[in-house]
Amino acid sequence: MGMFDWTEKSAAVLQQGGVIGPDERLPWPQTGAMGVQHVIAMFGSTVLAPILMGFDTNVAILMSGIGTLIFFVVTNGKVPSYLGSSFAFIGVVIAATGFAGKGPNANIAVALGGIIACGLVYTVVGAIVAAVGTGWIERVMPPVVTGAVVAVIGLNLAGVPIKNMASSNFDAWMQAVTFVSVGLVAVFTRGMVQRLLILVGLFVASVIYAMFANGMGLGKPLDLSGVASAAWIGLPHFTAPVFSANAMVLIVPVVIILVAENLGHLKAVTAMTGKDLDPYLGRAFMGDGIATMLSAGVGGTGVTTYAENIGVMAATRIYSTAVFITAGLIAIALGFSPKFGAIIQAIPLPVMGGVSIVVFGLITIAGARIWVDNKVDFSQNRNLIVAAITLIIGTGDFTLRFGDFALGGIGTATFGAIVLYALLNRKS
């Protein structure tokens, strides 16, 4: 079967409890509707990541769509996945650029060079996996290591919303209102609203913020003038990368998280569809790596396969790769709307801070979940020591200097976990 040859199935298949496989599709109108749902699912995170790094949201959305189409081609249309902005880059990009948390990032160019370097290493890892398989990855990065590294990505960021995104007591209270709003949506709603918990919580908190700030004058008013004046259609603000050794060495370790994420996602989709996707793992890494390099080449974020979209597939039992072509095309169209970008820029900083607390916490718990899902045994001292040291040096931003070069918390935690595990895993 070719890349674009899907077997058309009727919706009756789903009503009878069946599944639409990666190489099948519903009629095009329903496939299009599913594409919209996938865009909405990735939307909150794909837009949030660039804001937290000071990147242009329109470029990020545009490149997530283009990246998804690249991934489709590289995997020969066999792996259902959406590529959205990766949160794994946030900590290292903030560290590399000294970004303060609001508005455009003045040093975005050096971060882009680092992200391209990371994408290149990722692509090379993909080529090696395509040639020799994944056994070596699982030996070097067992679940105790990957879980600790993913958790550190969230913990290392904890100070950003709490120290940088709430300048007054009112702002701090609004952060609390925001994370409570997200929590209420997450637990007490159902269906699509629950899937969009970050987006809905953010909207609710922004309305409450406007009531207190604009209505009662308690804080900086919510300003929508930029939305009114923004054009419906226009080019996003592209940025060229700059290659700095410091930024590159800081950002390249993220490849470990991208590999762990992509590996986990592919295994999840294999389990759900009953189709063995392992033969496409190397291609999936290469597709993701190439899309990341291309995205950062014009000012976009690094991209990764999205758990949100895997959640939508699990809920709908529609695994058709055709859905992701329509989702990619919709995202590309959104990327060319400055009005959409202006709406994102209007979100109050404390509300973004509250959302950040939730998101960074969820990343941390995703690391703990890797331990639980893989039944990591903490009665073994080796696992206990690797996890304990990794979490503290990552959270405390333990930095090692080599002359002019500095390896910050996430980098020392990542390499430290791998080296420590290898050292302690030697048979006594």
pLDDT value at residue 286: 95
Opening angle at CA 182, ends 178 and 185, nearest 5: 140
pTM of the model: 0.71
On the question of pLDDT at 1 being above 60, the answer is no
On the question of pLDDT at 428 being above 60, the answer is no
CB atoms near residue 54 (< 10 Å): 20
Alpha helices in 134-231 (DSSP H): 135-140, 143-156, 159, 169-188, 191-195, 197-210, 216, 225-229
Kindly state the tokens that stand for 360: 């960074």
On the question of pLDDT at 9 being above 80, the answer is no
Opening angle at CA 163, ends 103 and 89, nearest 5: 60
Among 327-336, 351-360, 403-412, whose mean pLDDT is lowest?
Answer: 403-412
Share of the chain above pLDDT 90, in %: 19
What is the per-residue pLDDT across 289-332, written as a single tens digit (0 to 9) for each? 999 999 999 989 999 887 667 766 766 677 788 888 888 998 99
Q: Are 309 and 41 in contact (CB under 8 A)?
A: yes
What is the per-residue pLDDT across 122-153, written as a single tens digit (0 to 9) for each? 999 999 998 988 788 778 888 898 888 878 87
Nearest to 43 by CA among 259, 265, 202: 202
Nearest to 203 by CA among 351, 33, 369: 351
Kindly state the tokens that stand for 396: 């405390």
Kindly state the tokens that stand for 210: 């406007």
On the question of pLDDT at 94 being above 70, the answer is yes
Rounded to whole angstroms, the Cα distance separating 360 from 146 reads 16
Alpha helices in 374-408 (DSSP H): 381-395
Rounded to whole angstroms, the Cα distance separating 242 from 16 reads 54
Top mean-pLDDT range of 36-40, 95-99, 385-389:
385-389
On the question of pLDDT at 370 being above 60, the answer is yes
